[in-house]
Amino acid sequence: MRINRNKCDICGVCVAVCPVDAVSVSEFHVDIDKDKCTECQNCLIACPAKAISSQSFEGINQKESEIDNSPLMGIKKEYDVVVVGAGPGGSVAARFVAENNVSVLLLERDRESGIPVRCAEGISSGGLEQFIDIKPEHISSKITRARLNTPDGNHLEMKSHIKGYILERRIFDADLSDLACEHGATMLTKADVIGLKRLENGKMKVRYRCHDKIREVTCKIVIGADGVESRVGRWAGLKTALDLNDISTSTQYTLSNINVDPELISFYFGNNIAPGGYVWIFPKSKTTANVGIGISGNNAKEKPAQAYLDNFVAQHFPEASISYTVFSGVPIAATLEHIVADNVMLVGDAARHVNPITGGGIKQAMIAGKLAGEMAVQAIRKENYSAKVLKKYQQEWDKALGSKHRFIYKIKEKVLVAGDERLNKIADICKGIPPEKMSLPDLFKAVVKGDPKMVAEMASAFVLSKINV
C-alpha cells in the first residue's frame, strides 16, 4: 500500500479500519508499517480522500531519535493524569480532573484545539451548561427545524422543542481547552503522542514528539481522546479496529454564495445520493453552509463519498464556491466492548461514543469526558489505577448513554439500512404527522405502527440490546 501525501488529509480513517495496527498518523503525515501490513485494503477502501493506492511501499520506518530529557518550559516530568487529544472530550476530561486539584497534562497533536474541523458542527443545546457557558461567538446559527428528504422527492419536517446550534468549532473547542487550563490543567500543543509503556511501578510512560524531538512524561492514568484512530486504545491492548460497515467515510464542503434557511437543517437519503448514509446541509448563515456526505465504508468500494457529494452540489448548488474541504471518518458503531484497561480510559470517538444513526458525537464526548475525569480523580485518591477500578467509568457511561447506543446500533443494523423503496414507504406512513409533533421517537413509532415486520425487527433489536448490558 502507498500513500499519496499530496492527497492525504490526515483524517485517521485508515488507522480506525486497520485490523493489524499497521497504520500510524501524526500531525504531518500517515505511515504504513510494511512489516505489519497484510494488504487487506481496508484503508484503501475507506480513505475518503482516496490518497491510498495498492502500489509498493514508500520508505516509512523512521528511526526514532534519542529521548530529549532537557527541560521544556512549563512542562513537568510527571503528572497524575495525561489526556491525549484536546477535542471536546479531552478538554472536558482535563477540566474535571484539574478542578479537583489533581495534576493533568493535556497533549494536542495540532497547533491548537478545534482544527481542522472534521465535523458538521451541529449540537442540541440541552445539557450544555454543565460543560460551558454558550457565548454568541460559539454559534453560527440557531436551528428550529429539520427536514428529511426521501429518494422519491418527498420530505418530512420536524420542528424541534429543543434549541439546536451550528457551532463555530474552532472557537468552541478553543474555549473548552482554555476552560480546562483556567481550572489548572497544563496544555501542550504540537505534541504528537507516539507510544505508551507501562512501568514496573504501576505508572505509565507517555512518549511524544514535540518540535522534532522525542520526549517522555510519566503519569498514573492516561485518558485517550485521540479520535477515531485511537492509537492510545491500541497501545493499551484494547480492540479498537472498526469493520468497514461501522465507519462512515465522509467529505464535507463549506459552501458560500448559496441560498439557505439559517434555521433549517436538511438531510437527503437514497441509494443514488448517499448509499448507506446521507447528505446533510447545516447552515452557518443565509449564504453559507456545511454540506457534507457520509457513506458506510462498504459502500465506498466502487465510488468514493466525494464523488457522490460533487454530484449533489452540482445539482443543488451549481453557483456555490467551496471555501473549505475536509475529509473525515465517523464511527457508526456501538461503544467498544472495553473502553478501559489498566491505567487507561478512552472517551469520545476513540471509544465510539457516537450516535450510530446520526453520527453526532460532540455532546457524547463531553459527557464521557466528564465521567472519565471524575473517575480518574477517584482512582488517584485510592491510589489504584487498575482496570478493575476504572471499570466504574464504563458502567457510568452505560447508564448515561451506552445502553441507548447499543439499542440504536441494532436499529441501524436491522431497520435503517433500508433500500429506497422502504425509505419512501416510511415517508408515506409519516406524512400525516404535523412538524411540531414529529420527533425521532414519534417517527419510529409511526413507522413500526404501519409496518408489522418492522415491529418485530425493532422488538428483536431491543431484546438484543439488553442481553449484554
Q: Which residue positions in the chain have pLDDT lower than 50?
A: 56-64, 462-469
According to DSSP, the β-strands at 221-224 and 247-256 are: unpaired
Rounded-to-integer distance, Cα 157 and Cα 137, Å: 28
Rounded-to-integer distance, Cα 83 and Cα 191, Å: 11
Of 77, 259, 290, the closest CA to residue 186 belongs to 77
Please tell me the predicted confidence (pLDDT) of residue 56. 46
Please tell me the predicted confidence (pLDDT) of residue 60. 30
Please tell me the predicted confidence (pLDDT) of residue 65. 53
List for the chain the helix, strand, coil content (%; round to 5): 35, 25, 40
CA-angle at 53, arms to 117 and 349, nearest 5°: 30
Going from the C-alpha of 387 to that of each of 98, 192, 216, 343, 402, the distances in angstroms are: 22, 25, 23, 7, 18
Give per-residue pLDDT as tens, 401-411.
Answer: 998 888 888 87
Cell triple for residue 450?
404501519
Please tell me the predicted confidence (pLDDT) of residue 139. 95
Give per-residue pLDDT as tens, 331-361.
Answer: 999 999 999 999 999 999 999 999 998 888 9
Long-range contacts of residues 443-447, Cβ cutoff 8 Å, at least 24 apart: 443/156, 443/158, 444/411, 447/415
- In the chain the domains, ranked by start, together with CATH numbers, are 2-53 (3.30.70.20), 81-116+170-242+334-403 (3.50.50.60), 141-160+244-331 (3.30.9.10), 409-467 (no CATH)
